Amino acid sequence: MTPRRAAVHAHARVTAAPGGALPVLRGDGPLALRRTRAAGPYAQVTLVGAMSGPLGGDRLRLTAVAEPGAALRVTSAAATVALPGPGPDPLPATYDTALTVADGAELHWLPEPLISARGSDLAMTTRIELAATARLVHREQQVLGRAGEEPGRLTTRLTVHRAGRPLLDQELSYGPGAAPGWDGGAVLAGHRAAGQLLMVDPAFEDKPADTAVLGDTAVLTPLAGPAVLITAVAPDALALRRLLDEGAARLGA
């Protein structure tokens, strides 16, 4: 009998301070963090996969803090692939992200897509705390299955608070075991990629964005607060990225 792989528990941390300083930059397990070059005032950190993950049973956590007046941009070197791990009965995995953006700070969170491979089971949560004068650009992209395969099970939840008050709370679930209809006409309608781009900026208080339809499968919607949410589905990751970029371009981002 093949022994079960030991699950990985890892917590990576990054803290940005004004002037491009990174007083905390600590990777862990499969979450390797590297400082990379960025244009403008941003300190840029790139997430580099140091090992395969998340695999079944893994518990991964990533914490990022932008201190007052800081500007931080976080990217990833490649897509993240959720895998089932070895063994006939792999355990579910979790990937939790906690982001804090202080007064006068700005965070651009722009990772590459998450791919839900066949047989995987991943619960992904993102919790964001924003100060009243903080600015945020947050992108999520999910691809359901690699080329020619069915997806695994993927559940994502995004919660955002601004100045201590709820701004956005949404949960999505795809793949085997998800609620019936997840791949039907009212949700994905046969598409294999889904994503969103959230922009929060105090400037939207004086000049709210207008609702707009982007192509046939994306929409730009102002939220009840100084924020805009662009939501899209597409046949693949490239088409999804184009829709999200089109929405960002309309907002001057």
Q: Are strands 227-234 and 218-222 parallel, antiparallel or unpaired?
A: antiparallel
Distance (Å, whole) CA 152 – CA 167 = 30
Kindly state the tokens that stand for 61.
Answer: 């956590």
Q: How many CA atoms lie within 13 A of 156 on its CB side?
A: 20
- Which pLDDT band, with edges at 50, 70 and 90, does 239 fall under? very high
pLDDT of residue 89 exceeding 90: no
> Which residues are CB-neighbours of 180 under 8 A, at least 6 positions away?
none
- The predicted pLDDT at position 188 comes to 84
Higher pLDDT among residues 207 and 45, named by residue? 45
Distance (Å, whole) CA 77 – CA 46 = 6
- Which pLDDT band, with edges at 50, 70 and 90, does 88 fall under? low
Amino acid of residue 239: A
pLDDT of residue 1 exceeding 50: no
Q: How many CA atoms lie within 13 A of 151 on its CB side?
A: 25
Higher pLDDT among residues 176 and 245, named by residue? 245
Check the CA dihedral 211-100-155-34 and report its sign: positive
Cβ neighbourhood burial of 134 (10 Å; 0-12, 13-18, 19+): buried
Distance in angstroms between the alpha carbons of the first and the last residue of the chain = 54
Mean pLDDT within 192-210: 93
Distance (Å, whole) CA 55 – CA 171 = 21
Looking at the chain, the whole-number percentage of residues with pLDDT higher than 90 is 73
- Which pLDDT band, with edges at 50, 70 and 90, does 2 fall under? very low
Spatial CA neighbour of 173 closest among 157, 197, 149, 191: 157
Rg of the chain (C-alpha set): 18
The pLDDT tens digits of the residues spanning 167-197 come to: 999 999 998 888 787 887 777 888 999 999 9
Mean pLDDT across the chain, nearest whole number? 91
Mean pLDDT within 14-43: 93
- With beta carbons less than 8 A apart as the criterion, state whether 125 and 96 touch: yes
**What are the strands, taking DSSP E only, across the chain?**
9-17, 21-26, 31-36, 43-49, 59-66, 71-76, 80-82, 93-101, 106-110, 114-116, 121-130, 135-144, 153-162, 165-174, 193-200, 212-214, 218-222, 227-234
- The predicted pLDDT at position 5 comes to 59
The pLDDT tens digits of the residues spanning 94-135 come to: 999 999 999 999 999 999 999 999 999 999 999 999 999 999
> Where do the H-state alpha helices sit in 59-208?
203-206
Kindly state the tokens that stand for 159.
Answer: 């919660």
- The predicted pLDDT at position 146 comes to 87
